[in-house]
Structure 1
Amino acid sequence: MTVRVVLADDQPLIRAALVMVIADMPDIEVVAEAGTGLEAVRMTRDLRPDVVVMDIRMPGMDGIEATRMITKDGGPTHVIVLTTFDDDNNVYNALRAGASGFLVKDMAVSDILGAIRVVAAGDALIAPKVTRRLIEEFTGRSRRTATVPKKEIRGITGREREALTLVGQGMSNTDISEAMGISAATVKSYVTRLLAKLNARDRAQLVIIAYENGLVAPGKEPT
């Protein structure tokens, strides 16, 4: 199956570079390019791509609002935020808006392609270390400015809470399996139940919930 992608960035050179990267891949296809957030929303509604690669800083409607509009109806499209990491203070809010992961603009080509494939397959955490670093950097500042109420943890078991903590630390299913002494299949079952019980769109939102509810503190490493 070919992964259908919309590229949303107000810089034509960035879009052109990504198109060149993707052009030789038989399993990924760029179906449209958007220069604004509003264009990205319209193209997503018309084309129903698997993935939107979304820059945050765009004229008019920014990438955060565009991400919120794309993901609010629970459709099949996943959004990957395109960020420079060092100077972008809105990454946390992008996750809250429904983004499934991140691309850092100076990432290796292989990592960019891998990220698109992983998110298209439904696994929100592109690279646990990248996700953890981003959230650690911005969670304190963003908490003071975020206007969306946090999602409370209710109705989960002790073992599910343990799994949620490890997800929040950026662990993969394999790492969680080893840490909890359970099979990978059981980990997947825990994650699936957590998504349903906490009304989370994907794994990235589970990370946010873990941070917001104090299960993981910024800077805490997996044990």
Structure 2
Amino acid sequence: MSIKVAVVEDEKHYNNALKKIIDNDSELDCVAQLYSGAESLALLKEMKPDVVLMDIKLPDMSGIEVVSRVIDNMSETKFIMCTSFEDDAHIYDALKTGASGYLIKGETMDKIIASIKDVYQGGAPMSFGVAKRVLQYFREEKTIVNQQLNDLSKTEFEILELLAKGYLYKEIAEIKQVTIDTIKKHVSNIYKKLHVNNKVEAINILKNL
């Protein structure tokens, strides 16, 4: 059975070129050519293709907005952004919204075909430069997290570890031989230093160390 692909691209020549290479592959079938955000919103949820090649700069709205508005009703569909935008903001907004891949226009047609098949199998295809930016982002995030944890006092770090193990405030107070109010003050300081609002967020930072 062929992989059903929809192309959302307002530049007609490029849209037609994508359709041609998709249909030339025996494993793929271009089931729709769409040219605007409104058209995509009206048709994609009904068609539910396996993969959508989505441009970001559409004449009426961002392709990222389109993805954000349809993805909850298209849980089985994979979205690959295919765009000329290579800046951090567009990349992270697209991936955070739910896109599974991000290709820069200018990639070879072979790369595009391989990416469609890859994302259908559960992969996350990206152009080389995009992948480097994403990797750098996570490295920087890890550095920030490490610094935040280093800002905790020894006692605060120990309390955070006990919280992560499932201990209650009362139990931690008994272990540390202090009052529950003292533990609550320590926890409040932990939240401030880690820039989080609750225990779950604080524990997640520790787990991602």
Aligned to 1:35: 35
The CA distance in 2 between the partners of 1:114 and 1:129, in whole Å, is 14
Higher RCO (CA 8 Å, separation ≥ 6 residues): 1
**1:101, 1:131 within 8 Å by CA — same for their partners in 2?**
no
One-letter amino acid matched to 1:126: P
The CA distance in 1 between the partners of 2:21 and 2:127, in whole Å, is 23
Aligned to 2:134: 135
Structure 2 SS opposite 1:126: coil
The CA distance in 2 between the partners of 1:41 and 1:130, in whole Å, is 30
The question of 1:6 aligning with 2:2 is answered no
Deviations 1:32-56 (A, max 9, x none): 1111122122221121100110000
Between Structure 1 and Structure 2, which shows a larger proportion of helix residues? 2
One-letter amino acid matched to 2:131: R
Structure 2 SS opposite 1:39: helix
**1:91, 1:138 within 8 Å by CA — same for their partners in 2?**
no
The CA distance in 2 between the partners of 1:33 and 1:86, in whole Å, is 24
Aligned to 2:21: 21
**1:85, 1:134 within 8 Å by CA — same for their partners in 2?**
no
The CA distance in 1 between the partners of 2:89 and 2:137, in whole Å, is 6
**Aligned-residue CA RMSD (Å):** 3.2
Q: Give identity over the alignment, percent.
A: 28
TM-score under structure 1 length normalisation: 0.57
Q: CA deviation at 1:88?
A: 7.9
Structure 1 SS opposite 2:15: helix
The CA distance in 2 between the partners of 1:56 and 1:134, in whole Å, is 18
Is the alpha carbon distance of 1:93 and 1:3 closer, same or farther for their aligned partners in structure 2, counting shifts above 3 Å?
A: same
Structure 1 or 2, whichever has the larger Rg, is 2
TM-score under structure 2 length normalisation: 0.60
Aligned to 2:94: 94
Q: CA deviation at 1:114?
A: 0.6
- Structure 1 stretch 82-91 or stretch 24-33: which is displaced more? 82-91
Q: CA deviation at 1:122?
A: 2.0
Is the alpha carbon distance of 1:104 and 1:137 closer, same or farther for their aligned partners in structure 2, counting shifts above 3 Å?
A: farther
Aligned to 1:111: 111
**2:48, 2:74 within 8 Å by CA — same for their partners in 1?**
no
The CA distance in 2 between the partners of 1:6 and 1:52, in whole Å, is 5
One-letter amino acid matched to 1:133: K
Structure 2 unaligned spans of 5+:
139-162, 166-203
Aligned to 1:197: none
Deviations 1:115-166 (A, max 9, x none): 001111222x214845422436889xxxxxxxxxxxxxxx999xxxxxxxxx
Structure 2 SS opposite 1:32: strand
One-letter amino acid matched to 2:64: I
The CA distance in 1 between the partners of 2:40 and 2:121, in whole Å, is 21
**2:11, 2:35 within 8 Å by CA — same for their partners in 1?**
yes
